[in-house]
Structures are given as C-alpha cells and as structure tokens.
Chain A
Amino acid sequence: MKQKIELLGKRTVNALEELGYAISLLYQSLYWLVLGKFYRQPVKLPLIATQMMQIGVSATFIVVVLCFSVGMMLAIQGLETLKPYGAQAQVVTGIALAVSREFAALITGIIVAGRSGSAIAARIGTMRESQEIDALRVIGINPVRYLAAPALLAMLLVMPVLTLFGMFMGMLGASVYTFYELGMPIEIYMSRSFEVISLTDVLQGLSKSILFAVLIVLVSLINGFQVKGGAEGVGLATTRSVVMSISAIVIADMIVTFFITRM
C-alpha cells in the first residue's frame, strides 16, 4: 500500500514537472519568436519554412485522403440513419456542421500528431542523444530558439490551413456519396453546405486546430528534449509522444466543445 501511494506521488510529481516544463517551453518559444530579433538572435525564416514543409506540405495528401473518407463515412451513416424518417436531405446540414466544427480539426490533429509530432520528438531525441543539442548550446545557439520556436510557429501556421483543407475535403467526400445514393449533384451539395455553415462554425474548427497545434508541439518537444537511453529511449519517446498528443487532443476537444456549446 505504502509503495502504491509512493508510486502515485512520484507520478503526480512527474506529471506536474512535465506540465511546468511544457509551460516553460511555450513561454520561451514565444519569447524568442517575439523578442529574439531585439537580442540579435532571431528565429530564422529558413528554419520555419523547413518545418512548414515537413509538417504541412508533406501531410497534405494524407489529410486530404482521410478527411475525404471521414466525410464519406458520415454520409453513409447519416443517410442510413435518417432514411426511416424521410429526412435524408438533412444530411447536408449535419455533415457540414460536424465537419467544420469538429471532424476536420480532430482528424487533422490526429494525423499531424502521428506523423509530424512523432517526427519532431524523434528528431530532437536523436539530436539530444548524439550531443547535437549540447553542440548547439556551446556554439551559442539556444536550442529552444533553434528547434522549438520554429516548430511551434510552423505548426501554428500550417494546422489551420490543413484544417480548412480537411473541411472542404470532408464535405466533398460526403457529396460524392450523396450523389451516388440520392443523385444530388455535387455542386448543389457543396453550395448548400456553404450556405449552412457560418463563419463562427469555421472559426470554431480553426480555433481548435490552433489549440491542437500547441498541444502537439509541446508534447513532442517535452518528450524529445527528455530522451534518455539511446535508440531505445528515442523509440519510447516517439511512441509516448504520439499517445500523449492524441490523448491531449481528444480530451481538449471534448472540454472545449463542452464550453463552446454552452456559450
């Protein structure tokens, strides 16, 4: 019993330490992004561009495919569920709102966490193990400025764009199935979808994507920067980073949705 309480205490302390570390990393990253140039240590544009390429451009295809599939799946379920009530036409409204408010941001977040979050954790973990982070420090380069800040800014810029893509592709996927099932032309489906969703719905999805971007980067960074134990440690940190990011995204999404629907 005593051991269990000790273990619980240790885990709680570790979790609080990690939370503190994450907040410190966020603060330092924002500090360098905003004030770095005043100390002649700016966050360099090529680093941000490289991160944007790695996080965003290379994830576009998979975001497009998965959001298209999710939209189509929602259409299949929606049409099937609404069929007995003769309300199949309402599927347009349901999917447009669900995709723009929820699914596009969530699916994009999960894909980026699995793909790019794990890559950030693995890269930083490997750099730590091969003393590259020490090398940065002795060259006089702050690792947060060089590694964390560009990743954060790139993620903040790329995630909303990917989410917008996801929204469009989700509705497109649903329209393709609706055309197949009900014969509703795709352009009509899409124009009705755009009529249904408001700017607030889109902003809701985009604000979630920004929150997810911060969570993914912070989780990946704390795991990467704390790697110990060689290649095995890097592998463990990468796995932990993916699991923690996806959990954080889903739980944060639930909490945010709860409060938004009560506003």
Chain B
Amino acid sequence: MSQLSRMQNHHKSQQNAALAIRVDNLLSHYDGRVILNNVSLEVEQGEIMVIMGGSGSGKSTLLRYMLGLEKPSAGKIELLGKDITRMDDNDLHHMMKNIGVSFQGGALFGSMTVAENIQLPLNEHTRLDQKTMQIMSQMKLEVVNLAGFENLMPSQLSGGMVKRAALARAIILDPRLLFFDEPSAGLDPVVSAELDELILRLRDAMKMTIVVVTHELESAFKIADRITILDRGEILMCGTVDEVRNSDNQRVYNLLHRQPRADSVNVDEYLQRLTGEELS
C-alpha cells in the first residue's frame, strides 16, 4: 500500500470516527413503491440534526431505518462506526445501549408506572440494585422536570408530561445518540418551546448527538445545527439553518412557506390507478 493511500485511509477513518451516524445510499421499497431513494446522510458527533419534510416524505421511515427497526432493500447505516444493517440480534441488543429514542406518542408502557418505565432499560442492560435504579430514575425525572410523578401511570399524565417521561426513559443510560420523532406533535406552543429548550440543554450537558424528525419549522430552526430536507423519498438539501432559509430550491421554498405542491398529473398513470388496468 502506498503512503498516499495509507494517508487517505487514515484521513477517512478519522473522518468516520467523528461521525455519529452515516447513512449511505439507503434504498427502501414497499409494495413496489420506492419510499427512500438513495438517501445518504452524515451526522457529526455532538450535532443536532433535524430531518424535515412534509407528510409522506419518508422522514419517519428514515428514522425507523436509523433505529434498526427495519432492514433496508439496499444501502448501509452506520451508528457510531458500526453498520447496523449487518448486525445480528445480539450485537444490535448491545448497540441499543448507546441509543435513546423518544417516540411521537411517547410509547410508555401502559401497564407500568412512570418510574418502572424509566427503569426498564436499566433492568435490561445493567445489574444495578433497585435502590440505585430508583435514584437514577429520580435524577432523570429531575432533568425533565417531572420529579414527584414517578408513581403515576402513563394514562394519568398530560401529553407534554408523557413526552418528558419518554425522554427520561430515553436518556436513562446516558446514550450517545438520541432520536426524537415529532417531539412537538400534539403539544401547545409553550410546552413545545420548553421541550426545545430541554433538547438543547441535553446536548450541551450530556454531549449527545441528537436527531430530530419534525415538520415544525419554528422548532427546527431553533434547535438545529443542520437541517436535512426530505421530499418524496429523496434528500432535497442538507445545510445549516441559514442555508436552508436562504435556499432558492423551489420545493424547499414551498415547504418553508407552506405552499401547496404543484404536481403535474400523468393522465395515463391516474387512469391506471382508478381502473387498476394497464392502458395500451
């Protein structure tokens, strides 16, 4: 191997080491339809990356792939330098210690109290005694301003409290990667703003890499270091908040200014959809 190629490899591995997430040419099909078309994305360590897009743009699907919940048709997803698309269940189990996820609806387990929900990852991945787990869950509840609610059931919490409890569960193992799916969905503007502040605080205090999937512009502009915009399964652009704001791409403009899409209708395709028959 020449010195030049060794230096290039070294440089590349240094670059990869600084990357928390690398999505490489991700391809996803469902029922013959392309959902994600050669999506490539890199998120650096300690960065807050916001993935935006309208309904059906594929942003939630992309999140599911990044979490290892689905296997892609083609492409690669590296989390912390490891390709999760080729991992077996056991390796994925260990990888999940480094990941925290706050789902859109919270996804708290309805049969458990808030504290039991938060302690579940500790129960699974550690051998800590009950007292220590209690102290740790109390600490995380303090972080998300939910102290005193540990013995309530999820059904007794408001929407904002559910999201904060879910966040406490997501950060209980101090993960290096934190994912949010529509954190502001269903919340009033004040609670939504509080959650944005909380996300920023978490990044600064715990040095986490954070990926947020949202369609809330205000929230995205407030918390993002960089924004990736998805549309119809493809990345339209990826850049800083200013770059996105000043983009001259028409589809980006439409998304940011709530303009309806001016789709051209393919008559043959439309008729075929209606009749279910191939037109000659």
Contacts and interface: CB of A to CB of B under 8 A. Distances in A.
A joins B in a complex: yes
Given A130-B107, A134-B69, A135-B101, 6 more contacts: A39-B90, A131-B103, A132-B108, A137-B96, A140-B124, A141-B120
B110 A132 contact: yes
Interface size class of B (residues with CB under 8 A): 20 to 34
Interface string A129-157: 01110110111111000000000000000
A39 B124 CA distance: 12
B110 A41 contact: no
B72 interface: no
A139 B110 contact: no
Contacts of A130: 105, 107, 110
A130 B69 CA distance: 15
The A interface is mostly helix, strand or loop, or mixed, namely helix
A130 B169 CA distance: 16
B97 interface: yes
Interface of B: 64, 67-69, 89-90, 92-97, 99, 101, 103-105, 107-110, 120-121, 124-125, 169
Contacts, number: 53
**10 shortest A-B CB distances, which residue pairs?**
A140-B96, A135-B107, A131-B107, A138-B101, A140-B93, A131-B103, A139-B121, A132-B107, A138-B67, A141-B124
Contact of A139 (B104, B105, B124): B124
Contacts of B92: 140
Interface size class of A (residues with CB under 8 A): 10 to 19
29 contacts: A39-B90, A127-B109, A130-B105, A130-B107, A131-B104, A132-B107, A134-B64, A134-B69, A134-B103, A135-B103, A135-B107, A135-B108, A135-B109, A137-B68, A137-B69, A138-B67, A138-B69, A139-B120, A139-B124, A139-B169, A140-B92, A140-B93, A140-B94, A140-B95, A140-B96, A140-B97, A140-B121, A140-B125, A141-B124
B96 A131 contact: no
